[in-house]
Amino acid sequence: MKRKTVMVLTAALVLSLGAAGCGSEKAADTAKEEATVSDTTEEVAEAEPEKEIITDAEELLKRYDENNTGSYKMDYVSTMKLEASVEEESMGLSVKIALKADCLDENLHGISSVEMAYNDDDEPEKQEIDLYLEKDGDSVLSYQADAGDDSWIVVKDDSSMAFLTATQSKLVTEDRLAGAELSYDDQADEYELIVPVMDTGDYGMLAGFLSEEMLYSFSNGDDTAYESLMGEIEKAKTHYIFDKDYNLVSVSIDPVDFAKKIGEGDLTGEIKIQCGMNCEYSGFGTVKEEDVIASAEIKENAEDVYGNAGETEKVSYEGATENVDTSLADFYGSIGGVNLKAGEKNDFAKTFGAAGFRLSKANDGEYGWADLLFDDYEDVNAKLYAEHILQSYDDVNKEIEENGFYGYEINVSASEVKPEMTFGGLTWGASLKDVVGVYGNPSDSTEMSWFTMLHYDLGNVSVDITVYNDGWLFDYPGGLQEFKVRYSH
């Protein structure tokens, strides 16, 4: 390409010189100049090095990491259409999620929009959110307001929004390179890296709609629908496009068109799902800190709706014991009479498994935790932590089943039926005074109008206990309703 350009420019120069001269003497001089320029052109052409073409995926990602400034613009779109019919009854759901944002390192600011319709003939409902995501230690602070509105809220979110604040280099993980295909397009001067889709988590913000629980209800109780969808998704590929300077310019997933017969006997039907995702990147190096950080006014006036984004405060509570006994058999909790340990292996089958819990098939292995599902405790939220919380596992369910879990969290605040558990001899509904009577004053705490969260820092182990006020929501009971144990190396 360079050689051709040099020669075209040289030809233009020669023609202009020739047209300017008159007479044989000048013509001869021009001929000498042509020869000289032509020789020079050949020398330049011969000296021009050949373009280096990267053929190894790891080397391409290495070049990308070296070049990545963490400053870029994002244009993300994911779509899903879901239809289900049983006999003459049918229903549909279509969702389009978009985000246009400025990104810098692990912070972003943009407009997120969601369009949703429940049947083909419905007018889509649309909501636009002005969104800031800011890295806050191991968590993410999300400042949100309806686009054009000044009523901001702030939410601390350490998982569902985390993928948005990840730098681009984290989009291509090492565990996918085994099945990677790399090619170079000479015409476009671009690289294409193709890797297998791992799970619904690849669809980013759409993943929540593709959950095991949602498909179970949409397919009229067919508990094989999610597994069948996963089989179809695993056939899809994720395509990463890099430009000549090794910038990641787009990510897309092959469209998935899934159909499955459901029901049995007289109640039969079909479920169909179509989904896809595309994200484009541009403006490399142009986004500045002031483009992605919420203003002081927004931060000052944003409402902390869940009470977990503000500063914590160390306080003393009446009746708190001074001698905290971590050697209590169930200090870190027990379930079904089996004591749980922190930072040590717990057997899933003998603990939560024996109590009727099962590991969700929707666990994507992106990090070292797994959500639990439970038929007996429909409104209980719980998850287990593998030995390394921040490690990416190919199959986190298998990891926990074979090698155990090292921490957990459980919230029963919205459930009438609660699993049989104890905590230092206490059980669900224990008062704040009872809790500090066993666990002592916390390292710090967060107090809101409807709950108090006590945080205990015990070295490489931490315990969070949340005690709700009576009547905190409708007629829901108060007292101890959440318990979390975290472990870090």
And the tokens for 358? Answer: 């099962």
Choice between 30 and 248, residue whose per-residue pLDDT is larger: 248
Distances (CA, A) of 18 to 29, 88, 200: 9, 84, 67
With 70 as the cut, is the pLDDT of residue 37 above it? no
DSSP annotation of 131 reads E
pLDDT at 319: 87
Q: How many CB atoms lie within 10 A of CB 304?
A: 15
Three-state SS at 291: helix
242 within 8 A of 193, measured Cβ to Cβ? yes
Mean local confidence (pLDDT), 149-168: 64
pLDDT at 3: 28
And the tokens for 89? Answer: 């009854």
What is the C-alpha separation between 259 and 373, in angstroms, rounded? 25
126 within 8 A of 113, measured Cβ to Cβ? yes
Helix locations, 98-224, DSSP H = 162-165, 212-218
Confidence of residue 365 (pLDDT cuts 50, 70, 90): low
With 50 as the cut, is the pLDDT of residue 30 above it? no
415 within 8 A of 384, measured Cβ to Cβ? no
And the tokens for 132? Answer: 């800031």
pLDDT at 443: 86
The CA-based diameter of the chain, rounded to the nearest angstrom, is 112
201 within 8 A of 251, measured Cβ to Cβ? no
Confidence of residue 209 (pLDDT cuts 50, 70, 90): low
Q: How many CB atoms lie within 10 A of CB 426?
A: 21
With 90 as the cut, is the pLDDT of residue 73 above it? yes
pLDDT at 82: 86
**What is the tens place of the pLDDT at every residue in 427-473?**
999 999 999 999 999 988 887 767 888 989 888 888 999 999 876 56
- The pLDDT mean for the chain works out to 79
Confidence of residue 1 (pLDDT cuts 50, 70, 90): very low
pLDDT at 416: 83
pLDDT at 185: 95
DSSP annotation of 476 reads -
Q: Considering the entire predicted model, what is its pTM?
A: 0.58
Contacts of 463 (CB under 8 A, 6+ apart): 332, 342, 439, 455, 456, 483, 484, 485, 486
pLDDT at 206: 64
393 within 8 A of 368, measured Cβ to Cβ? yes
